[in-house]
């Protein structure tokens, strides 16, 4: 009897430590027998960091390939449909005619919600705090969700050329990089990614509704702001939606693969 208890004790300790990683974030825990655990098993006894980046790079390559394929389908096939093309071209022109000083200022705010100032600051602060608290998977999740989105956007613009709307553009950016909207994708990767993280662990009831309401409201504001400023067509902003969502999925998968690799190492050490 005592031998059985002693044999079981290391397993109980492993379970306790596994549940406590990164504050017990359910989002990062691999499902037994699920894709993340199978990927980790295929990696063998690789370090969790190696397993994380193997999953991250694999997911990114698949996402980039799918994004380029979708972009070519949109620009070479969908936009040949007359009614689709007319709406996609006319909506930015209509918004240009509705511009006012107040709306232009508001569009700048909407752009900066996913722009070059706020996102780096947010990533830096979150990464620094999580590093101090030694919550490495949380830091990696937030940082690489946006990094995967950004890398996907950039490789897509290399293969899919589309001119920005023929209106007065309020920003000086390359005119042949209209598809897709990186700002829209980034707003989903950051804000919806944070909402998923928070509601996975901490939020219940009213807080959950509030967090998701804010997170879901931001991307349409960003998208409309980008169209208003003459930087994208409506279809370009819609194309940012699956990129942002898929970037979150890729990083969640990589975090779960790392979690499965950590669990294996802990089990081996306990044994």
Angle, in degrees to the nearest 10, between helices 82-97 and 234-270: 100
Please give the pLDDT value at position 24: 66
**Number of structural domains the chain divides into:** 1
pLDDT in tens, 18-34: 334 555 688 898 888 89
Are 134 and 20 in contact, with CB atoms under 8 Å apart? no
Q: Report the chain's C-alpha Rg in angstroms.
A: 22
**CB 240, CB 227: distance < 8 Å:** no
Q: How far apart are the first and last CA of the chain?
A: 19
Beta carbons of 13 and 263 less than 8 angstroms apart? no
Give pLDDT tens digits for 180-218: 999 999 999 999 999 999 998 776 788 899 999 999 999
List alpha helices for 98-135, DSSP H.
101-112, 118-132
Q: How far is CA 250 from the centre of its chain?
A: 8
Q: Would residue 13 count as lying in a domain?
A: no
For 117-171, the pLDDT digits (tens) are: 889 999 999 989 988 888 888 999 999 999 999 999 999 999 999 999 999 999 9
**Residue 20: inside a domain:** no
> Does any domain span residue 7?
no
**What pLDDT is recorded for position 21?**
52
Confidence (pLDDT) at 127: 86
4 located within any domain: no
pLDDT band at 231 (very low <50, low <70, confident <90, very high): very high
- Residue 17: what pLDDT? 38
pTM score: 0.88
CATH assignment at residue 151: 1.20.144
Q: What is the pLDDT of residue 45?
A: 86
Residue 265 pLDDT class (50, 70, 90 cuts): confident
pLDDT computed for residue 151 by the predictor: 97
The secondary structure of residue 47, as a DSSP letter, is -
Residue found under tokens 């969502």: 245
CB 75 within 8 A of CB 162: yes
For residue 21, being part of any structural domain is answered with no
Q: How far is CA 26 from CA 14, 157, 165, 204, 255, in A?
A: 16, 35, 43, 14, 11
Mean pLDDT of the chain: 88
Sequence-ordered strand ranges (E) for 52-146: none
The domain containing residue 124 runs over which residues?
32-270
């Amino acid at each position: 009897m005592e031998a059985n208890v002693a044999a079981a004790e290391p397993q109980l300790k492993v379970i306790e430590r596994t549940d406590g990683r990164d504050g017990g974030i359910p989002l990062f825990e691999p499902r037994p027998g699920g894709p993340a655990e199978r990927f980790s098993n295929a990696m063998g006894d690789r370090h969790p960091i190696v397993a994380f980046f193997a999953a991250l790079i694999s997911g990114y390559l698949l996402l980039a390939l799918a994004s380029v394929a979708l972009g070519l389908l949109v620009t070479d096939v969908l936009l040949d449909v007359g009614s689709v093309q007319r709406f996609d071209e006319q909506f930015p022109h209509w918004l240009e005619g509705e511009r006012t000083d107040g709306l232009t200022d508001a569009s700048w705010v909407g752009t900066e919600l996913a722009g070059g100032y706020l996102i780096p600051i947010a990533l830096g602060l979150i990464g620094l705090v999580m590093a101090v608290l030694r919550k490495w998977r949380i830091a990696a999740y937030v940082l690489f969700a946006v990094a995967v989105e950004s890398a996907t956007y950039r490789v897509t613009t290399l293969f899919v050329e589309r001119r920005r709307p023929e209106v007065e553009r309020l920003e000086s950016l390359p005119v042949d990089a209209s598809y897709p909207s990186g700002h829209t994708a980034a707003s989903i990767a950051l804000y919806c990614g944070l909402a998923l993280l928070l509601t996975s662990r901490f939020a219940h009831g009213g807080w959950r509704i509030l967090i998701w309401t804010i997170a879901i409201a931001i991307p349409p504001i960003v998208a409309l702001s980008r169209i208003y400023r003459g930087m994208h067509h409506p279809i370009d902003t819609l194309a940012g939606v699956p990129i942002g969502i898929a970037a979150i999925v890729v990083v969640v998968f990589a975090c779960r693969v790392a979690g499965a690799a950590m669990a294996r190492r802990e089990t081996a050490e306990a044994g």
